[in-house]
Structure 1
Amino acid sequence: MIQTLFSDIINRDILAKAKRRGEIIEDLAYFLCSNSGKLASFTKLTGTLNSMGIKVSVPTFEKYFSIMKEAFLFFDLSIYSYKVKDQLQYPRKIYCIDPGFINFAGFKFSEDRGRLMENLVAIELQRTKSKSPLVEIFYWKDQEGHKVDFVIREGLAVKQLIQVTNVSRREEIQKREITGLVRAEEEFKCSNLFVITWEFEGEEMVDGKKIVYKPIWKWLLE
C-alpha cells in the first residue's frame, strides 16, 4: 500500500513536470527519505549522489526538490535567523510528508526511531502552521553548535522551543539537548521550553528555566 502510494506520487505528480527518466527521480526520492531530519546542503547532497553514480547538477537537484515539495512528498525548514541571507545560505532540514514513506524507502523503524519521531513532530507542526497564517517553523543552531530541533514563531515572537529525543528515562537525555534549549531561551527570550520524548514525562528547573518533558503519544493527542 505504502509502496504503491509512493510510486503513484512519483509517476503521476512528479515525472510529468521533471521531464527526466523515472529511475533518477525515484533514486532522488529514496535518497531524500533516507536523509529525513538531517541538515541538508544541496551542494553536499549533489556531491554524495554523484559519488553514488546518480549524476545530477545542483540546479537540477533544486528543481526536482521543488517539484517534490509541490507534490507534497517532502517539505523543509530553514534556520531561524534575523538575516534572510542566512536562511537562504544555511543548510535546510528536509522532512518526508508521510512517515510511512521513510520506513519503506529510507530506513527501518528499529534503526532510527528518534529521526522518525522528529519527522512525525515536524508533520504535526506543519499542520498547525497550515491552520494559522502567523505561525512559522524553523530549526536553530548557533556558532558553537548548540541546536534546537524546532523553533515556533508566531508573528514576530518566538512562542516555543522544542527538542525531540528517543528516551524513556530522564537520565537518558543527553546534556546537549538541554543546553541547546537553555541557550536558545537566552537568545530568543522564550520561556516555553519543551522536550518530546518516547516515554518520559515530567518537569524540572535548569538554570532557573522550566523545561517540560512529554511523551510523543500524549503530545500528539493534545
Structure 2
Amino acid sequence: MDDNELLEIMKDWNFWGNFTKQWIEREEYVGKIKNLLKGVNIVAISGIRRSGKSIIGLQVIKKVIEEDNVDPRDTLVIKLDDERLTEVNYNTLLRILSLYEINIKKGNNFYILIDEVQEVEGWERIVRGLAEKGNKVIVTGSSAKLLSSEYTTLLSGRHVEVRVFTLDLMENLSFKGIKLRDRIDEIKHSLDIDKSIEELMNLGGFPDVVLHKDIADELLTSYFESIILKDVISRYKIRDESKLRVLAKFYITSSGSRVTYSNVSKFLKIPVKTVERYSEYLEKVFLIFFLKNFSFSVKGVEVSPRKVYVTDNGFMKIFSVRISRGRLFETLLAQHLFKYSFNTRADLYYWHEKEEIDFILQRGDIIQPIQVAYEIESEETLYREIDPIKKFKDKVTDIQNPILIVYRGEEKTIDQVKILSVKKFLLHIEDYLI
C-alpha cells in the first residue's frame, strides 16, 4: 500500500476528511473525558466490545473541534481494526503518524484517537512519546490488559482510565429522545421508563441493540462470537475453543450464582487450571465479572465462592429462554451497582453465611447492605428478605442506609430498611448509595 492509498483510508476516519457520521451523544462519558484531558495527556477508554468506546472517542474529538475552536486538521483518528490495512504493526502506526504530520497537521500539538490500540505490539511507547510532546491522546481497547500494571509503568502514570459500560437506564431513555429534567418528566414518561427497564432486563443495553431491537438476537450472537474469537482466542492463543465456549455459556446462564473453580471444573469436566485461566480471560474482556464474599478476614474473602454476573443481560436471553425474571432482575441491578462502584472507587461484594445479602457496598469504613427481590408476594416474603440485613447488622455495626430494591412497590421503611422500586432506585441511584 503506497502513501496515497493510506492517506485515502485515513480520510475516511477523520473530520478533516470524509467522516460525517452522526450519533446519539453519550454525554456522561464525553464530558468526563473532555474534562480529564485538561489535566492529563492520556485517557484510555476501556470496555466490552461494541459498547460504544470508538464512538465516544470520536464524539470527544468532535466536541473539542466545535467547542474549543481546535482546527480539524489538528486532530487525528486512527482505526487499527480497519480491514483495509494490509498489516497492522508498530511501523504501520509510525507511518500513519508521519503521513499525518507531513500532510495534514497545522499547529504544534494535536488531539489523537487511536482505536483498538491493543492491535499493535508496543503501542504504549508511541503513546507515551506523543503525550510527552504535549499532545492529547485517547486510546480505546476491548481488554482489561490495556490498563495492566505493565502499561501503567510504561505510560509513567500519566493516564486515566474511563470504563465504558453498555447503556444504563438513563442512557437507554436518552437513546429514545427522552430527557428527564425533573419529577414532572418522570411522571410524564412513567410508561416509557417501565418499558426501558423491561428492555434492559430482556435485551440488555448494547447501543445498536437498543436502536435495532428487531435484529437483537443476530447482533448479540455476532458480539459474542467476536468477543470469543477476537478478544480471547486470538489474543490469548487458545487451542481448545470448545472448552472456552462451554465455560463462557455456563457463566452467562449462571449469572447471579455462587461458583468455585473446582466445582465448575467438576461440573463441566474441564481441568481446574484451565477453568481458572479461561475465567480470567473472560473477565479481562469484560464479558463477566465476579463478586467476592464480604468478610473482615482477608482469608475469608479469598477462600469463599464468588458470585458471577454477565455484563449485559442480552447474552442471557440468547443462550437460555428459561432464565427467570428474578435472575434477570438481579443481574441488571448487579450491572448498575458494579458501574457505580467502579466510578466511585467503592468495593462491591455479596454476603453469605447462613443467610445471604445480594450486595454489600463498601467505601472505607462505611458499609451498605443491598437486597434485591423481584416480587414480594407476602409479609412473610418481605421479612425473609429483610432478616438477613438484621443478622448482618448484629455482626457489622457500622452499616448505613440498608435498602431493599423490588420490581414494583411504594417507597417505605421497615426495621430501618428502605424499600424502593427499581424505577426510583435506577433513576436516582446516587441518592441512595453511599
Report the TM-score, using the length of structure 1 for normalisation.
0.87
| Aligned counterparts, 1:1-222, within 5 A | 1-16=219-234, 17-50=236-269, 56-105=270-319, 107-108=320-321, 111-133=323-345, 135-142=346-353, 145-158=354-367, 160-167=368-375, 171=379, 173-189=381-397, 190-206=399-415, 210-222=416-428
* Letter paired with 1:218: K
Distance in 1 (CA, whole Å) between partners of 2:390 and 2:332 is 24
* Letter paired with 2:348: I
Distance in 2 (CA, whole Å) between partners of 1:136 and 1:170 is 32
User: Which segment is superposed worse, 147-156 or 111-120?
Assistant: 111-120
* Letter paired with 1:118: E
Q: Which runs of 5+ in 2 are unaligned?
A: 1-218, 429-434
Q: Which runs of 5+ in 1 are unaligned?
A: 51-55
SS at match of 1:173: helix
User: Which segment is superposed worse, 14-23 or 194-203?
Assistant: 14-23
Q: Please say if residues 366 and 400 of structure 2, whose CA atoms lie closer than 8 Å, have aligned partners that are also in contact.
A: no
* Letter paired with 2:344: S
| Deviation for aligned residue 1:146 | 1.0
Distance in 1 (CA, whole Å) between partners of 2:327 and 2:268 is 21
| Deviation for aligned residue 1:204 | 3.2
Q: Which has the higher strand share?
A: 1
SS at match of 1:201: coil
Provide closer, same or farther for how the CA distance between residues 65 and 211 of structure 1 changes in structure 2, counting only shifts above 3 A: same
Distance in 2 (CA, whole Å) between partners of 1:130 and 1:69 is 15
SS at match of 2:286: coil
SS at match of 1:164: strand
* Letter paired with 2:413: E
SS at match of 1:95: strand
Q: Please say if residues 147 and 177 of structure 1, whose CA atoms lie closer than 8 Å, have aligned partners that are also in contact.
A: no
* Letter paired with 2:266: G
SS at match of 1:153: strand
Q: Please say if residues 294 and 360 of structure 2, whose CA atoms lie closer than 8 Å, have aligned partners that are also in contact.
A: yes
Q: Deviations over 1:25-44 (max 9, x none)?
A: 11111111111101111111
| Deviation for aligned residue 1:203 | 1.8
Distance in 1 (CA, whole Å) between partners of 2:332 and 2:380 is 21
SS at match of 1:78: strand
| Deviation for aligned residue 1:18 | 4.9
Distance in 2 (CA, whole Å) between partners of 1:78 and 1:27 is 23
Distance in 1 (CA, whole Å) between partners of 2:391 and 2:380 is 20
Number of residue pairs matched? 208
| Deviation for aligned residue 1:185 | 2.0
Q: Please say if residues 99 and 116 of structure 1, whose CA atoms lie closer than 8 Å, have aligned partners that are also in contact.
A: yes
Q: Please say if residues 196 and 214 of structure 1, whose CA atoms lie closer than 8 Å, have aligned partners that are also in contact.
A: yes
Q: Please say if residues 99 and 120 of structure 1, whose CA atoms lie closer than 8 Å, have aligned partners that are also in contact.
A: yes
* Letter paired with 2:282: M
Report the TM-score, using the length of structure 2 for normalisation.
0.46
- Give the match for residue 53 of structure 1: none
| Deviation for aligned residue 1:7 | 1.1
| Deviation for aligned residue 1:174 | 4.8
| Deviation for aligned residue 1:120 | 0.9
Distance in 2 (CA, whole Å) between partners of 1:203 and 1:18 is 53
Q: Please say if residues 169 and 199 of structure 1, whose CA atoms lie closer than 8 Å, have aligned partners that are also in contact.
A: no
Q: Please say if residues 351 and 358 of structure 2, whose CA atoms lie closer than 8 Å, have aligned partners that are also in contact.
A: yes
Q: Deviations over 1:145-179 (max 9, x none)?
A: 11100000001221x21111111555473543111
Report which of the two structures shows the higher radius of gyration computed on alpha carbons.
2
* Letter paired with 1:14: V
Aligned-pair identity in percent equals 27
SS at match of 2:293: coil
